[in-house]
Amino acid sequence: MAAPPLCLKIQATDPTCAARCGVLQTAHGEVQLPAFMPVGTQATVKGCTSQMVAQTGAQMVLGNAYHLALRPGADIVRELGGLHRFMGWDGPILTDSGGFQVFSLERLCRVSDAAVEFRSHVDGHMVTLSPERAIAIQEALGSDIAMVLDQVIALPNDLAAVRAACERTVDWAVRCRAAARRSDQALFAIVQGGLDVELRRWCAGQLVALDFAGYAIGGLSVGERPEEMYAMLDVTCPALPEDRPRYLMGVGRPADILEAIRRGVDLFDCVMPTRNGRNALAFTDRGPLRLRNQVHRCDPQPLEPDCPCLACRHSRGYLHHLFKAGEMLGPMLLTVHNLTYYQRLMRGAREAIARGRFMDFFQQRMAGWSAAARQDAPTA
């Protein structure tokens, strides 16, 4: 009998909250949880080689089936050896199905129970993405974890619209599961339900009964307040099986990540560290630094004194200069720093959970960020 494509071993649970750490075994290696996945939408994390991404401490990256199906085409990726070889990444890869594009490209698509019809943002031709097609694309790409096709809608929203999207997500999950053929690829379902407690519980129950390899929590960080997102995590995480990984999709503020970890979430992804890095914002334990600001012009300090990344070998003044001069090295270095910061944050969380001290770690980080926010607040 072939080995399962995914195996989760929980090593410790914090005694003061639901935070947990463990190891996720995939076809391309282990991932220490909790973990943050850099986003490599088009088989690249913008501005970084795969080797640079690995040096930040990243263990798994994310690709997007919708975008890769448009460019260069899933069949081309398969012919060139699959997504791992294509992008030169030896570790695990998770691919999103394209469900988020149903939301982000809403003006270009039409949704029915059968499929989503897109007008390609690249050249305008019509593309049909059904649950079966989403699975076929991801199997051609050869990722370690494939996501079911789901429907994401903006929040807040009409309850009838949320219910319809939730029911469609469950129906599509059934079809995705039936279409899956690769024995070396794990399939994750996605819990939807907006901000409705009963819909979240219902959706989780329906998907858990289908026995997926892992479960994502989707449809959050799409317009709701942070407190509303946390309330949905409070409802959803306990409804998911303890022996399967839990993945919060598209949530990337450091504070939100720690809030989710203490509620039992294992996996995260977001463009926030890379997008902000390209726009001269660096994440630190004392809050964000905006490197275009004149205050950094003659600053000899590194971004963070204990950070091992390439950017922190230079002064803030040098990084300020790179952005003012329009040099591409500036966005590259800050991207590396932000990815390194996120990986250091996750490593710290894992170590704190293993010691049973996660809430101490949580409070220390929150206090540092809050102090920085108060310092930057405008005075009356």
Q: Which residues are catalytic?
A: 96, 269
- CA–CA separation, 259 and 215 (whole Å): 18
Residue carrying structure tokens 């390209």: 278
Rounded to 5°, the CA angle 266-269-273 comes to 125
Residue carrying structure tokens 């975008």: 67
How far is CA 67 from each of CA 49, 60, 96, 117, 159, rounded to the nearest angstrom? 19, 19, 10, 14, 30
What stretch of H or E contains 12?
Answer: strand 6-13
DSSP 89-137: --S-EEEE-SHHHHHHTGGGEEE-SS-EEEE-TTT--EEEE-HHHHHHH
- CA–CA separation, 45 and 374 (whole Å): 33
Contacts of 177 (CB under 8 A, 6+ apart): 148, 187, 189, 210, 212
The residues pairing with 39 across neighbouring beta strands, listed in sequence order, are 62
**Residue 214 — φ and ψ, nearest 5°?**
-160, 170
Percent helix, strand, coil in the chain (nearest 5)?
Answer: 45, 15, 40
The SS3 call for residue 44 is coil
